[in-house]
Amino acid sequence: MKAGIVSYGAYVPRYRITPKEIGRVWGSDGEAMGQGLNVYRKSVPSPDEDTITISTEALRTALVRGAIDPQQIGAVYVGSESHPYAVKPSATVVAQAVGATPNLTAADFEFACKAGTAAIQTCLGLVGAEMVRYGVAIGTDTSQGAPGDALEYSASAGGAAFVIGREHVICSVLRTLSYTTDTPDFWRREGQKYPSHGGRFTGEPAYFRHVTECAHQVMKASGTSAKDYQHVVFHQPNGKFPQRVGRQLGFSEAQMRYGLVTPFIGNTYSGAALIGLANVLDHAGPGERILMVGYGSGAGSDGFDLETTDEIARFDRSFGKPVQWYLDQGQELTYAVYAKFRGKIHMGED
């Protein structure tokens, strides 16, 4: 496949809250909850941040790093389940903000946590068919769990942008395929503020089945096995699921090291696997093979067999922050401030 990743950027809001602090408010053992989920902090967006601002921040970084002329972008797709508007695209705002308008196509994607990887696949098609020079795929979320719900301990904010092109490809896409079924494990209906989920049903028949099947199919089609990859990235709704699925598929801790970011920033939903991939690319040299398997509830997995090229050695990552910086830094909030930031406090008539 000629089209590949030519640049990328990630962004995670600066605020953090710990499961312990959340549990303190709800009378739960939040620390134990966090250990069970393998989530130690989760990111919290500022009141002036949303899917559009996070996407714009990540894309600006990517464009500078790749020295890409925004006017050469032919497509912008923003994948998220927390678009600020139900009707009015995020993608147009992002495209305008980076100076890519007006000669491009733009749209918002939604497929729970895998809208970003679906956007990458779409861009690969457009770029591969030479319909556009550059396609931009972004996965970003500012998702929330209902107050006191198990999801509240992990649902966080962040995103990553990937520019797909044919020239100066830093990471080739050797193969991508998807595994999709109608599996109602997690949903949010129009007008509902918080998502609903099927509890334990979100595990075996949903996440594990789709991720495992998709990973098997990618490796079977590529004639590879776990040992052929230097890195592996899974969708990471918590820190535990990807570790378990990784072990089941035969991957080591070392292979999962850079791809697993949720323990430090929480579950960024559409951004989760993509921030993990950005972290891998931050550390990778030429010729390193990467398996990435996203997952979106509802449900489906997108699998990618990737390999870094010699171009990555010349790629200038100096602009913007590396993912590790976001994993390390952060200002912790009390639940009260977190509740204010996330609009959980009723302010009377708007």
Binding site residues, other proteins, CB under 8 A: 29, 32, 196-201, 205
Strand 171-183 relative to strand 298-308, pairing: antiparallel
For the bound state, the minimum distance from the C-beta of residue 169 to other proteins, rounded and expressed in Å, comes to 42
| Nearest CB to other proteins, comparing residues 88 and 200 | 200
For residue 248, CA distances in Å to 29, 100, 138, 209, 219 come to 29, 43, 29, 12, 14
Burial of 203 (0-12, 13-18, 19+ CB in 10 A): middle
Burial of 148 (0-12, 13-18, 19+ CB in 10 A): middle
| Nearest CB to other proteins, comparing residues 197 and 289 | 197
| Nearest CB to other proteins, comparing residues 128 and 205 | 205
| Nearest CB to other proteins, comparing residues 149 and 311 | 149
For the bound state, the minimum distance from the C-beta of residue 215 to other proteins, rounded and expressed in Å, comes to 22
DSSP 143-187: --PPTTSGGGGTB-EEEEEEEEESSS-SEEEEEEEEEEEEE-SEE
Query: Comparing C-alpha atoms, which of 121, 208, 193, 239 is closest to residue 342?
Result: 193
Within 10 Å of residue 348's Cβ, how many Cβ atoms?
4
For the bound state, the minimum distance from the C-beta of residue 260 to other proteins, rounded and expressed in Å, comes to 25
Please give the positions annotated as active site: 81, 113, 235
| Nearest CB to other proteins, comparing residues 186 and 258 | 186
| Nearest CB to other proteins, comparing residues 72 and 196 | 196
3-state class of 82 per DSSP?
coil
| Nearest CB to other proteins, comparing residues 196 and 224 | 196
For the bound state, the minimum distance from the C-beta of residue 300 to other proteins, rounded and expressed in Å, comes to 18
Q: Is 16 left (phi over 0), alpha (psi -120 to 50) or beta?
A: beta
Tokens 């406090």 found at: 345
Burial of 130 (0-12, 13-18, 19+ CB in 10 A): exposed
DSSP 238-281: SSHHHHHHHHHTT--HHHHTTT--HHHH-B-GGGHHHHHHHHHH
Query: 171-195 burial, b if ≥16 CB within 10 A, otherwise e?
Result: bbbbbbbbbbeebebbebeeeeeeb
For the bound state, the minimum distance from the C-beta of residue 297 to other proteins, rounded and expressed in Å, comes to 14
185 with 201: CB under 8 angstroms? yes
Within 10 Å of residue 296's Cβ, how many Cβ atoms?
30
